Structure 1
Amino acid sequence: MYAIVEIAGQQFKVSKDLKVYVHRLANEEGSKVSFDKVLLVDDNGTITLGAPAIEGASVEAKVLQHLKGDKVIVFKKKRRKGYKKRNGHRQYLTQILVEGISTTGAKKAAPKKEAAPKKEAVATEEAVEAPKKKAVKAKKEDTQE
């Protein structure tokens, strides 16, 4: 069983007992956190898709630790001009452990039904054509007189 969930503005594919690095969360280390914006749930081949999110579904997780990501160096240079700029960045991250995916109250997608032709539409067309025929007959009678 897996789910696509939105955490801190990013979408992640998560399953039970999976460790995930996400953007820094405000929760304390060791605390539990719940994410309600579940976009898709796959339960052994039964897919439930949200529009945009599945109501009643949630992902439960535990905050393991707060840390910083790898250093990224941004280096800008313009040749023959003596212009060089060096800048670095380290993203603040939170490591979480997914403890479970809950789908209580989530509605399963119903199988699609084939569209049958509407009988009302046929009756409506006949109702529209009948006055036209009467108008044509009346016009022919007027021209014959």
Structure 2
Amino acid sequence: MNSYAIVNIKGMQFKLFEKKYVYIPYLKLEIGKKKILDQVCLFSDDGLVYIGTPFIKDIRVNIEILKHVKGNKIIIFKKKRRKGYKIKNGFRPIYSKIKVISFFKKTSKNINA
């Protein structure tokens, strides 16, 4: 079995597998930078499941930013009937493509993390 973690990133929860890619909401980091995520809600490793209340204190996730991309266009349409009021707007949200490098347990060596 693969180990995975459910991590809170910008108020949204994502299921992350080791050495896999995921698109998440935009993080203001340069491409190639590494970041350590510490808000792990659930961690599973070879059948053992650790559940946080709300987060697990000892488990960290090491990720790398690969690129920033725009998503599909989202249309916002507002209308008031019988008033002639119609507004159509849209935007393309920005996502960050990340790669999960590893899961690790926080120890006394990783104090600065």
TM-score (norm. length: structure 1)? 0.67
> How far does residue 104 in structure 1 lie from its aligned partner after superposition?
4.8
Aligned to 1:81: 83
Q: Alpha carbon RMSD of aligned pairs, Å?
A: 1.5
Give 1:16's match in structure 2, choosing from 18, 21, 26: 18
Which structure has greater helix proportion?
Answer: 1
Aligned to 1:99: 101
Which structure has greater strand proportion?
Answer: 2
Q: Aligned pairs, how many? A: 105
Q: Cα deviation per residue 1:15-71 (whole Å; 9 max; x = unaligned)?
A: 112211111112110111110111111112110111111112111111000122111
Equivalents in 1 of 2:47, 2:105: separation in Å? 15
Higher relative contact order (CA 8 A, sep 6+): 2
Equivalents in 1 of 2:79, 2:39: separation in Å? 43
Answer with 1 or 2: which has the greater Rg: 1
Aligned sequence identity (%): 43
Structure 1, unaligned runs of 5 or more: 106-145
Equivalents in 1 of 2:55, 2:70: separation in Å? 30
Aligned to 2:42: 40
